[in-house]
Structure 1
Amino acid sequence: MADDFDLDADRLREECGVFGIFGHVDAAAITALGLHALQHRGQEAAGIVSFDGTRFHSERRLGLVGDHFSKQSTMEGLMGRSAIGHVRYSTTGETILRNVQPLFAELDTGGFAVAHNGNLTNGLTLRRGLVRQGAMCQSTSDTEVVLHLTARSRRPRFIERFTEALNELEGAYAFVGLTNHELVGARDPLGIRPLVLGELDGCYILTSETCALDIIGARFVRDIENGEVVVINSRGLQSIKPSTPREARPCIFEYVYFARPDSIVHGRSVYGVRKNMGAELARESPADADLVVPVPDSGVPAALGFAQESGLPFEFGIIRNHYVGRTFIQPTQSVREVGVRMKHNANRGIVEGKRIVLIDDSIVRGTTSVKIVQMMRDAGASEVHFRISSPPITHPDYYGIDTPDRDKLLAARLNLEEMCAYIGADSLAFLSVDGIYRSMGYAKRDPLRPQFTDHCFTGEYPTRLTDVDGVPDMRQLGLLAEAG
């Protein structure tokens, strides 16, 4: 299939992105613009729900935001001064229209639309219990259980019902929700998934990244805290902490790959952190080479940092065509390989006869790395030294990142020497776990109180994994007991 020859095919897939605004005359249009900025977090589907004071309006589509929400006919149907939106890459549930968010339900307290970034590690267990009790599920998304749990609560007020539902959830989540009277946001107790608060024309905004605020000219106010629920209505903003406070452990992969480089995550410039990772990598694993070449686009900031620290020239040895969509299926291998070069092509004039350092952000299955190294050799590179600006990925994710099973992860199957031989490089090195922490301003990783959720590198999962059969690592046993 064509994806076997696509340099993007072996990437960790983005999670999802959420956006919500309350009380603005252009709510739906602003939400669409915010989703454009979050498109990197999910390209399979997009949706917007608005409220006009009387009725909810919903538009959900498969495909990119610009394919649907730039059309006047679509936007005219999204009336009202409040709206929430979602871009999706599915980690739970199929890519079908009924799974596209925001999801909506009529409760006895009124309408409730919800959009979710993350993954509930007890979502399947909760769903089975709800179905046994008579619930009729309309999607296969774990997000729907929040609607059911909220609807079944006996508490008198909506926000009490919603927070009661949250207390039954395990895993990672950032929710934005819209009711007849308010915009609500919620972040999991460890703050694994990001959520920020912004302001535009006196109206509050909730979204996954600061880049979505930048595109509409909004002001960043603050991060939503781990375990915090915010309620935004005509009276302003209320903050609630419904669960026992815990130390924050945000996802480290926001800095490695997921967040847009121009976003600020927990006070740190993503671009700056990625450059730091490259510089730290150069200090840990230098290479005797002529130039530094990034794997576009995610390897660019780290390659700049590596080049500046090592004193080697930085060059674009791989050119990416940004105007080519998904590679279509081709009938023969020779034509398939032409399709690949439509997307990525070696810059022969730069790499021919040179010893190059290739910089990428991660290795997953390794199939992409094999093709990149071969592409450089075919273009005449005399040596190819591969450097990865994150530690080896040895464990799968269950919090909203689409990773393969452990037996499909290259670093879980092979040692460093075997991986180097497999991808065909002259040398291979990864950034160390302590190195990635140094890149973010820490002396090292604290093994007793880790500063980030970093299980893909360490195997230490910070929450229960109720829906997972077995335990991925013996070290998790103690963490599960601690999580209670």
Structure 2
Amino acid sequence: MCGISAIILADQGASACPDLFESLGLLQHRGQVGLLSPLDAAGIVTSGPKGRLYQCKGNGMVRDVFNDIKLLGLVGSLGIGHVRYPTAGSSSLSEAQPFYVNSPYGITFAHNGNLTNADELRVYMDKIAHRHINTDSDSELLLNILANNLQKTGKFRINEEDIFAAIKDLHRQVRGAYACVAMVAGYGIIGIRDPHGIRPLIMGRRKNPAGYDYMLASESIVLDSLGFTDYEDVKPGEAVIITQGGNVSRRQLIVADKFTPCIFEYVYFARQDSIMDGISVYKARLSMGEALADQVTRSFGKDMDIDVVIPVPDTSRVAALQLSRKLNIVYREGFNKNRYVGRTFIMPGQQTRRKNVRRKLNAMALEFHGKNVLLVDDSIVRGTTSKEIIQMARDAGAKKVYFASCAPPIRYPNVYGIDMPTRQELVAHDRNVEQVAEEIGADKVVFQDLDDLVQSVRRFNPVIEAFDTSVFDKYYVTGDIDDKYMERLEGVRNEDSKGRLSIDNDSVGLPNCFFHKQ
């Protein structure tokens, strides 16, 4: 999962860098892996006078990549930013985004999502377009598809119609999930969202004496925090072009059969204070807690002996609180979190993940000793984290440890931008609920019902008829995923997981800070 942002200021003498830097900090949760892993990365590119580009990017969290000197060097009133962990390609510095091509017109590009036809696009780039792809990243592929489409105009300077036509062709060429921001040096910024709307993209504006500033970002929290208002979602299949001078053009370029945003955004990835596609993440998680309470009641029946409900921090807190209120069972904070250790399910290597669970959480015996505890988490992926947390609860003196998941069993890999493991690594794959409980060491496991999860989110925007729920039901909305594709994907992910155990800095000599004059 990645976070993207783009900004263009009305005052062309002002600096876009401070807002871009703040935006990446607000999106860090979408690109954070952890202190022991080199996988997370961040980058900013700005466009200054006469179309000169200024860039800084690298592996690490936002606070690690940028310092005051580097930020002062990012000159210009428009720019784009990116935070990432890799879902296609490796973790090398050469794959940190934004990406850049000098021809045509000087284009920079940042992408959240994952393409499902990357292999055939590589062949096209090599044999037909004759464009060199320098990395294994599908984001670089997307950039070069767009650049190649614009190149075909043959014009000295392009206009909005040329850009819309190039993006429309891009939609016809690529498949998968992609929310993207791009910048044409000295011209303006662009927002693109895939026809299914799998990944989010939101636009807002901010009034100042010179006119309106405009911003695109993955989540509304960025716009809220930076004072942007009147924000709205970029529609599936829509493109937005904002030029220097403040002209905004929006156009629906392609319409898919269904609008299917990823439901896992609401379960886990998005910040709870964000609103995406008209749905408050906070309200959706409250609703998930209510539905999960009903599922717990059905599962336990008359044998309900839960003394306390304890969330696994942080994303499950809201749901756990609502569940406890509906069940009329006391809610307690039983785990203390070290906020300087990152997420675990996307960390490389089982041993690393196990160690980091203990570094990340500490169980307070005061809340566990002698009690039957219901732990509530957003989901169970590999089961490694859940198993360690359950053991921590037992070590703290819990008599029984039950485990409730706000999400249904995750049995299939994600192909749309979430770097989940292979089927064989998913604890719920080919296991029933009782077997999952045995595997992670719980006395009982309760999973959310898929229909209940969908309704928990959809109730806040009935216009959305369906969501991407492929990790639960194996229904891939792009319609191009078969067993052969899955086997190839898992082979790549197995190889990647081996390579990610060591720090990879195989940059091919391209600088991570540069300027370019168009």
Structure 2 unaligned blocks of 5 or more: 33-39, 298-303, 488-518
Deviations 1:178-197 (A, max 9, x none): 01311100100010000001
Q: By how many angstroms is 1:326 displaced?
A: 8.8
With over 3 angstroms needed to count, the CA separation of the structure-2 counterparts of 1:64 and 1:290, relative to structure 1, is same
How far apart, in 2, do the equivalents of 1:427 and 1:308 lie?
Answer: 21
Provide the residue aligned with 1:251 in structure 2: 262
SS of equivalent to 1:297: coil
Q: Is the 8 A contact 1:124 1:142 kept in 2?
A: no
State the SS of the aligned residue for 1:130. Answer: helix
Report which structure shows greater RCO (CA 8 Å, sep ≥6).
2
Distance 2:83 2:272 in 1: 18
CA displacement at 1:354 relative to structure 2: 0.8
Counterparts of 1:258-273 in structure 2 under 5 Å?
258-273=269-284
CA–CA separation in structure 1 for the residues paired with 2:280 and 2:174: 31
1:86 aligns with 2:82: yes
Q: Which residue of 1 aligns with 2:53?
A: 56
The aligned counterpart of 2:394 is 377
Indicate the SS of the match to 2:321: helix
| 1:9 alignment partner in structure 2 | none
State the secondary structure of the residue aligned to 2:109.
strand
Contact 1:124 1:467 in 2 (8 A): no
Helix, strand or coil at the partner of 1:412: coil
Deviation of 1:145 after TM superposition, in Å, equals 1.6
Deviation at 1:235, TM superposition (A): 4.6
| Residue aligned with 1:21, SS | strand
Partner of 1:278: 289
Q: Which residue of 2 aligns with 1:176?
A: 181
SS in 1 for 2:457: coil
What is the CA-CA distance between 1:405 and the residue it aligns to?
1.4
SS in 2 for 1:285: helix
TM-score by length of 1: 0.87
Are 2:16 and 1:27 aligned? yes
1:186 aligns with 2:192: yes
Report the aligned-residue RMSD: 2.5
CA distance in 1 between partners of 2:83 and 2:323 (Å): 33
What is the DSSP-based 3-state SS (H/G/I as helix, E as strand, rest coil) of the residue aligned with 1:469? helix
Q: CA deviation at 1:298?
A: 1.8
Count of paired positions: 449
Question: What amino acid is aligned across from residue 237 of structure 1 in structure 2?
Answer: V
Which letter does structure 1 place at the counterpart of 2:272?
A: P
- Shift of residue 381 of structure 1? 0.5
Q: Is the 8 A contact 1:294 1:303 kept in 2?
A: yes
2:484 to 461, 469, 474: 469
Is contact 2:177-2:416 (8 Å) kept?
Answer: yes
Counterpart contact for 1:146–1:166, Cα < 8 Å: no
> CA offset at residue 107 of structure 1?
2.0
CA distance in 1, matches of 2:124, 2:482: 13
User: Which residue is 1:16 aligned to?
Assistant: 2
Q: Which residue of 2 aligns with 1:458?
A: 473
Range with greater deviation from structure 2 (462-471 or 194-203): 462-471
| Aligned position for 1:318 | 335
Give the letter for the 1:67 counterpart: D
Amino acid at match of 2:292: L
Conserved? CA contact 2:205–2:213, under 8 Å: yes
Residue number in structure 2 paired with 1:195? 201
Q: 1:414 to 1:96 in 2, by over 3 A?
A: same
Match in the other structure for 1:480: none
Q: Residue 163 in 1 paired to residue 168 in 2?
A: yes
Q: 2:251 maps to what in 1?
A: 240
1-structure distance, mates of 2:473, 2:18? 42
| Alignment partner of 1:386 out of 395, 403, 407 | 403
Offset of 1:440 from its aligned partner? 2.2
CA distance 1:135–1:336, change in 2 (3 Å): closer
For 2:516, the equivalent position in structure 1 comes to none
Alpha-carbon deviation of 1:467?
9.2
Same amino acid, percent of matched pairs = 39
Query: Do 2:354 and 2:388's aligned partners in 1 also have CA atoms closer than 8 Å?
Result: no
User: Which amino acid in structure 2 is aligned with residue 255 of structure 1?
Assistant: Y
